[in-house]
Amino acid sequence: MLWVAVIGLVMTVAAVAVAGRRALFLFKLATVGPPAPERIEYAKAHAGDEAKAQLVEVFGQKKLLKWTPSGVAHFFVMWAFFILLTVYIEAYGAIIQGAITGTPDFHIPLIGTWGVLGFLQDFIAVACLLGLVAFAAIRIKNSPGKLGRDSRFSGSHLGGAWLVLFMIFNIIWTLFLARGAAAANGNFPYSSGAFASLALGDVLPQNALLEEIALLLHIGFMLVFLVIVVHSKHLHIFTAPLNVLFSRRPDGLGAAVEMRVDGKPVDFEDEDLDPERLGRGKIGDTTWKGFLDFYSCTECGRCQSQCPAWNTDKPLSPKMLILDQRDHAFKVAPYLMAADQDQHKDTDVLALLEKPLVGEDGVIHPDVLWSCTNCGACVEQCPVDIEHIDHILDMRRYQVMVESSFPSEAGVMVKNLENKGNPWGMSEMKRADWIEELDFEVELVDEKMPEDTEYLFWVGCAGALEDRAKKTTKAVAELLHIAGVKFAVLGPMEACTGDPARRLGMEYLFNMLAQQNIETLNEAGVKKIVATCPHCFNTLANEYPQLGGTYEVVHHTQLLAKLVDEGLLTPVTPIEEKITYHDPCFLGRHNKVYSQPRDIMSKVPGVQTQEMHRHKDRGFCCGAGGARMWMEERIGKRINTERVDEALTTNPDTVSTACPFCMVMLGDAINEKKNNGEAKESLEVVDVAQLLIKSVKTPT
């Protein structure tokens, strides 16, 4: 056994040295960019939440198990790595003990002969083999060669995936060979439990050389696999737990990532602020958390399969957005990591460095960047917590604020926000016109909130100025009045929350609008806010605290559902209609409000609800988020048309939603369908509040 020990030791040292060298390279590359101290500070301050995330997402595989077949297969393969660590303790122990005593009958102290451990080792190894078969079947069934763009593996490095599956297979069969040979020779620590190994031991010959060769083969395949892992996409085995640890909580949705320079929140009043540092203009501007995203991508394509842009033939694939940056980073790594950058002046690396991060000939094409609706489907589905939207926003910020490069029609929206405080450029005095159409008084805030007023009703730009959205505004106001909820509105004192500006990448304008609104709200003494627009709701609740504006914010569907439950609103008039509900992305995925709109509809007599195929956390975007509301959609199929096509498969009488942007986008698509004779003339889009007020008010 001495020769086995020598060869095993040499192989181990060599493999660990190669893997360690690669790990050091990856660490140095990840830390070339700006720091992200907020990630570490948050993880320290919320250790309990992070521990729970590790248990649920890493060990429990919660996100992966949403996709049942592949999720179950991955669960068993991953747990095989954990449980079979005990086999490697046994293997190295056997080598060492065999070299010393000549008899490789090592077992782990205390638990090493326990039949339960032997059973677990064999069970998980067999389950791992079945998982490999499932993975192979899934990859063959969803091959890009068969499905093309419809395959979630389209664009992935397919050869590397098959190599890894082959290597894991080699590890498992050599594991059983080594354990079976040990059992045949009487060197196996388990007399029961290890069903597969003991069965093999019964059929294999007693042969010491076979046991030694099998042991070396098993360790050799494991070490080669280690080297392959740190040089491939399967690096996520090590980096995914770290990426989960340092990801934003509860997830990378809700608030847009705060813009930072040198790890500190950007201060636009700082005279020394270098404009070139705004956003991400080159790969070296990526923080180590961004590099962790690159390293952790499994190329599984779940994000791609759910992306509304990709599903309507646009160039954006969230997966390729990450992979293209990662591949570029690896190519220019020698330059990025060089202490003396001139040492690479005669290499091909410098040619790559001239390639812009975003551009017609850049790493990321502008059409990729501007196709994103910020819907969050990619972040929601990513099993390793990659924050795709954060990457997109950082690149947009540089393009908008430094390069002044963005879709021209969005420029009109920016000017309107700057000059009039709303995207349509209408006079702020029109913000209260809708009140005149009501038959009761709505209080306007005059410097201070009126006494005994519980909520500030944040009407929003669309709710005050867009005709279709004003119907929702009036319905909510009337429902609150009927329920006896005292509220007031800001009227002309209200300005856009800044969501369109921030999602476009115009962080400076967002900052200006937000600070203006926060000052107004704080001076008025506002504590509780109800908003009808999910974009306003999300910005007020999740983003204003970044600038010191902290309020209790609810969406109108949350408040109305509560009022119905409390008996303050009672739906009585039947609405005999078949209704399908569209989940607004910024209400659903971004803020996890799924049940309340459905609860309201379920309480309305006569309503028959029918879910679309894609709903709740897999709901499909209307196409308006990410400031896309103010950009023309010129590539592929229109997203709102795709969504309405899906809605029509339920044969609805009405499409309901809870967002003014969604009402506009879905309404426009339905009108187009009506003109083409593809939808019935009576079909309309309404807000949930409009359904409720129709049922609450008894016909006269």
Q: Is the alpha carbon torsion for 476, 588, 547, 400 positive or negative?
A: negative
Give yes or no: residues 119 and 167 share one domain. Answer: yes
Q: Which of 81-95, 107-121, 535-549 has the highest mean pLDDT?
A: 535-549
Helix pair 688-696, 595-603: axis angle to 10 deg = 30
Average pLDDT over residues 53-68: 90
- Band (pLDDT 50/70/90 cuts) for residue 111 is confident
* Closest C-alpha to 452, from 532, 527, 520: 527
Question: What sections of 587-683 are H helices per DSSP?
Answer: 595-603, 639-648, 660-675
Q: What is the pLDDT of residues 261-303, one digit of tens each?
A: 988 999 998 888 888 889 999 998 999 999 999 999 999 999 9
Report the C-alpha gap between 222 and 366 in whole angstroms: 43
Quote the DSSP letter at residue 439. Answer: S
Q: What is the mean pLDDT of the chain?
A: 92
Q: Which pLDDT score, from 0 to 100, does residue 37 have?
A: 93
Give yes or no: residues 503 and 476 share one domain. Answer: yes
Quote the DSSP letter at residue 552. Answer: E
Quote the DSSP letter at residue 3. Answer: H
Give yes or no: residues 247 and 322 share one domain. Answer: yes
Give yes or no: residues 440 and 527 share one domain. Answer: yes
* Closest C-alpha to 116, from 86, 88, 79, 72: 86
Query: Do residues 511 and 258 make contact, with C-beta atoms less than 8 angstroms apart?
Result: no
- Band (pLDDT 50/70/90 cuts) for residue 347 is low
Query: Do residues 622 and 661 make contact, with C-beta atoms less than 8 angstroms apart?
Result: yes
Residue 39 falls inside a structural domain: yes
In the predicted structure, residue 343 carries a pLDDT above the cut 90: no
CB-CB neighbours of 693 under 10 Å: 22
Q: What is the pLDDT of residues 588-633, one digit of tens each?
A: 999 999 999 999 999 999 999 999 999 999 999 999 999 999 999 9
Give yes or no: residues 83 and 202 share one domain. Answer: yes
Residue 26 falls inside a structural domain: no
Report the C-alpha gap between 492 and 510 in whole angstroms: 19
Instruction: Go through the chain and tell me how many residues it has.
Output: 700
In the predicted structure, residue 6 carries a pLDDT above the cut 70: yes
Any long-range contacts for 626-629 (C-beta under 8 Å, 24+ apart)?
626/372, 626/373, 626/374, 626/375, 626/392, 626/503, 626/504, 627/410, 627/413, 627/500, 627/501, 627/503, 627/504, 628/372, 628/373, 629/423, 629/500, 629/661, 629/664, 629/665
Distances (CA, A) of 60 to 70, 196, 232, 382, 655: 14, 26, 24, 15, 37
Give yes or no: residues 291 and 369 share one domain. Answer: yes
Give yes or no: residues 655 and 686 share one domain. Answer: yes
Residue 263 falls inside a structural domain: no
Give yes or no: residues 78 and 174 share one domain. Answer: yes
Q: Which pLDDT score, from 0 to 100, does residue 427 have?
A: 94
- Band (pLDDT 50/70/90 cuts) for residue 41 is very high
CATH of the domain at 524: 1.20.1050
Give yes or no: residues 168 and 284 share one domain. Answer: no
Residue 434 falls inside a structural domain: yes
Residue 298 falls inside a structural domain: yes
Q: What is the DSSP string of 486-533?
A: -EEE-GGG----SHHHHHHT-HHHHHHHHHHHHHHHHHHT--EEEES-
Give yes or no: residues 104 and 222 share one domain. Answer: yes
Distances (CA, A) of 235 to 226, 232, 298, 335, 381: 9, 6, 8, 23, 19
In the predicted structure, residue 104 carries a pLDDT above the cut 80: no
Quote the DSSP letter at residue 448. Answer: B
Quote the DSSP letter at residue 30. Answer: H
In the predicted structure, residue 700 carries a pLDDT above the cut 60: no
Q: Edge to edge, what strands does the sheet with 578-581 contain?
A: 608-609, 578-581, 654-657, 684-687
Percentage with pLDDT > 90 across the chain: 79
Report the C-alpha gap between 677 and 560 in whole angstroms: 36
Domain count, the chain: 4
Give yes or no: residues 657 and 684 share one domain. Answer: yes
Range of the domain at 610: 578-696
Tokens of 638: 């229109």
Average pLDDT over residues 482-498: 97
- Band (pLDDT 50/70/90 cuts) for residue 353 is confident
Residue 259 falls inside a structural domain: no
Residue 594 falls inside a structural domain: yes
Tokens of 439: 């038959």
Give yes or no: residues 426 and 396 share one domain. Answer: no
Residue 262 falls inside a structural domain: no
pTM: 0.93
Query: Do residues 505 and 400 make contact, with C-beta atoms less than 8 angstroms apart?
Result: yes
